Amino acid sequence: MSQRIVIGLSAVVAAVSGGEARVLTVRPAGQAAALPFGPFDPVADRTFEIALRTFVSAQTGFDPGYVEQLYTFGDKGRDAPLAAVDGSAAARVISVGYLGLTARADTTALEGASWSAFNSFFPWEDWREGRPSVLAGIEAALRAWAGPSQARLARVRLLFALDEAPWNEERALERYELLYEAGLAPEAARDRGETPDPAVARLGLALGEPMISDHRRILATALSRLRGKLKYRPVIFEMMPEAFTLSALQRAVEAVAGVALHKQNFRRALERSGLVEGLGRLDQDTGGRPAELFRFRREALSARPASGLTLPLLRD
């Protein structure tokens, strides 16, 4: 017996505001946070992207700027409990995720829409001030889950930088998936129809804010993709205003990557890249000594293949 297929569209629209990387979220009545999402109508919708932009605008009052296709999510059971996609009852839901970047984390016009910090969903991902304190409880829970299994313990050590293993900021998706597999992500008990483990419940916000359906997995996928792209494409400038200081640019990169950068080495690498140029005027609103304003040399993209930014870690 064949099963009907419904194609859903989900949007991760990211910005940097107030020193934090943020994502545009909606909160359906009585539910956890969600990404803007909805069904694709093959008759009425000419393209996925046009349909996606319509959903985002209708649900949040925000018009996204740069968007690119992120990933297609089609695992069986991925929509449990069923995301409220119109007409999806008794259907297999395939979701096409998009990543959007904007320099405008504007106040949203519609009730229930807001700009939520990535770190509210993944608090263990913020290493800008060193190892996050929330990892203490997570580490203990993961070691208990690993038990005598050396294979499990090796994964825990590698992904969560235990026992002096290095931290790899790009593996955000793998970390979330490990927490889900270990039953630590709040969505795990929900999707399995189980009562949350009291030991897990005691970790509370250390495990991050849950989202409906598999939206937190989609969000983790976007975070991993964005962190990786920082290094080979100049995507960070899609999240910057037309004029910015180098300090503001560094803070934006750090907010997305979740790590602290070495200021002098970052600026030397930026100078070698040729991606920015000074505007010959100062920013008077820095709260201290005025700093020079710069712009992104977008024309460099047509002159040669443009790489991303070198991320010289402060700890190095």
Q: Which tokens go with 52?
A: 């996606």
Strand residues in the chain grouped as ranges (E): 5-17, 20-26, 37-39, 66-73, 92-101, 113-117, 276-283, 291-296
Show pLDDT as tens, one digit a residue, over the chain (316 residues): 566 788 889 999 999 999 999 999 998 777 899 999 988 888 888 999 999 999 899 999 998 888 999 988 876 655 544 444 454 455 678 889 999 999 988 777 688 899 999 999 999 999 999 999 999 999 999 999 999 999 999 999 999 999 999 999 999 999 999 999 999 999 998 888 888 888 888 898 899 999 998 999 999 999 999 999 999 899 999 999 999 999 999 999 999 999 999 999 999 999 988 899 999 988 877 666 788 999 999 887 776 666 788 888 876 5
Domain 5-118+212-222 falls under CATH 3.90.79.10? yes
At residue 28, the pLDDT reads 79
At residue 81, the pLDDT reads 45
Backbone angles phi, psi at 167, to 5 degrees: -85, 130
| Cα 18 off chain centre by | 16
Distance between CA atoms of 292 and 47, rounded to whole angstroms?
42
Taking each helix axis from N to C terminus, what angle separates 215-229 and 246-257, rounded to the nearest 10 degrees? 140
Shared fold status for 5-118+212-222 and 235-303:
no
Distance between CA atoms of 205 and 123, rounded to whole angstroms?
8
pLDDT digits over 63-75, tens only? Answer: 888 899 998 887 6
3-state SS, residue 263: helix
Each residue of 151-162: b (16+ CB within 10 Å) or e? ebbebbbbbbbe
How is the chain split into domains, by residue range? 5-118+212-222, 123-207, 235-303
Q: Which amino acid, residue 204?
A: G
Q: What is the value of pTM for the model shown?
A: 0.91
Structural class in CATH, domain 235-303: mainly alpha
At residue 2, the pLDDT reads 63
Q: Which tokens go with 256?
A: 């997305």
